[in-house]
């Protein structure tokens, strides 16, 4: 089973480059399942129905969220009809679920979403919440488990890897929009601290650079916007799972707007 993971998809540039290249990449790399993070997909904040249908139409199978999951209120009704999840440690009384289970190639595949603590909205303890959820899945006999850890702090993501690596298939970090150079398969678990954004790569975390620079130079904020014209990138991790739900290999693709592709192999090791 071959799975592809796409990090934070930022605005129209992110959606457009997915639409341009994903189908081709899926065919060339024989990808069976695609997970992508949606929380910045509509104008940089949240997700609309139109953009949700657009991304799913490009070949994404499940979408995960984060601290902006509920920014667009029209997303509320989509959780019952579309393959969307939001962080599992957000309040249980809120809309949506933090886990989805799909049938794929004779296996049940669970995708979970959890949000970190540092600089994030109030939520339950992410480590305890995800640990309990994974234990329940294992008790049900589910071995193919993918976790999106949406967090600012790299330490939280690395700690999550050590807590879960022997029980889950993959852990991928999102939220910072800046890709990290630590892709690995450790003890049968595919791990990367942050995949990096899909969208504009010549601004500041996918946004037009004007307001971020103004904020840093003058302490005067403003509305973050997305450039109408920019240099784009699609970043994705592709990994292979065996019948026991253990990852055997992984690599990252960076697909630039001009069609250039950079491939990086992940190291396979044991801790």
Q: What pLDDT shows up at residue 174?
A: 98
pLDDT digits (tens, 9 = 90+) for 150-179: 999 999 999 999 999 999 999 999 999 999
Q: Tell me what pLDDT residue 101 has.
A: 98
User: Has residue 77 got a pLDDT over 90?
Assistant: yes
Query: Is residue 61 pLDDT above 90, yes or no?
Result: yes
Supply the pTM of this predicted model: 0.96
Please report the domains of the chain, with CATH numbers, ordered by start residue: 2-269 (3.60.21.10)
Q: What is the mean pLDDT of residues 38-59?
A: 97
Closest CA to 229 of 199, 184, 270: 199
Confidence of residue 228 (pLDDT cuts 50, 70, 90): confident
**Considering 29, 43, 68, 177, which one is annotated as catalytic?**
68
What is the signed CA dihedral for 43, 35, 66, 143, rounded to 10 degrees? 170
228 — alpha (psi -120 to 50), left (phi > 0) or beta? alpha
Q: With cut-offs at 50, 70 and 90, classify the pLDDT of residue 187.
A: very high
What are the φ and ψ backbone dihedral angles of 36, each rounded to 5 degrees?
-140, 150
Asked if 68 is an active-site residue, the reply is yes
């Amino acid at each position: 089973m071959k799975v592809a993971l796409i990090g934070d998809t930022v605005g129209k540039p992110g959606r457009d480059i997915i639409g341009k290249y994903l189908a081709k990449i899926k065919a060339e790399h024989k990808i069976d399942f695609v997970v992508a993070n949606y929380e910045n997909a509509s104008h940089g904040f949240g997700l609309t129905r139109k953009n949700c249908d657009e991304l799913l139409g490009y070949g994404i199978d499940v979408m995960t969220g984060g601290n902006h999951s509920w920014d667009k209120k029209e997303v509320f009704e989509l959780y019952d009809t579309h393959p969307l999840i939001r962080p599992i440690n957000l309040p249980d009384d809120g809309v949506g679920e933090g886990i989805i289970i799909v049938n794929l190639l004779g296996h049940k595949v669970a995708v979970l979403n959890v949000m970190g603590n540092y600089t994030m909205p109030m939520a339950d303890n992410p480590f305890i919440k995800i640990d309990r959820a994974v234990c329940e899945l294992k008790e049900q006999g589910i071995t193919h488990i993918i976790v999106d850890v949406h967090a600012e702090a790299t330490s939280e993501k690395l700690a999550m890897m050590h807590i879960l690596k022997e029980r889950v298939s993959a852990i991928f970090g999102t939220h910072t929009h800046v890709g990290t150079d630590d892709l690995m398969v450790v003890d049968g678990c595919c791990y990367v601290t942050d995949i990096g954004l899909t969208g504009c790569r010549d601004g500041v975390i996918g946004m037009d650079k004007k307001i971020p620079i103004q904020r840093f130079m003058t302490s005067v904020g403003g509305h973050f916007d997305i450039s109408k014209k920019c240099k784009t990138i699609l970043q994705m991790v592709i990994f292979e799972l065996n019948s026991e739900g253990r990852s055997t290999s992984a690599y990252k693709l960076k697909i630039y707007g001009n069609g250039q592709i950079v491939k990086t192999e992940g190291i396979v090791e044991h801790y």
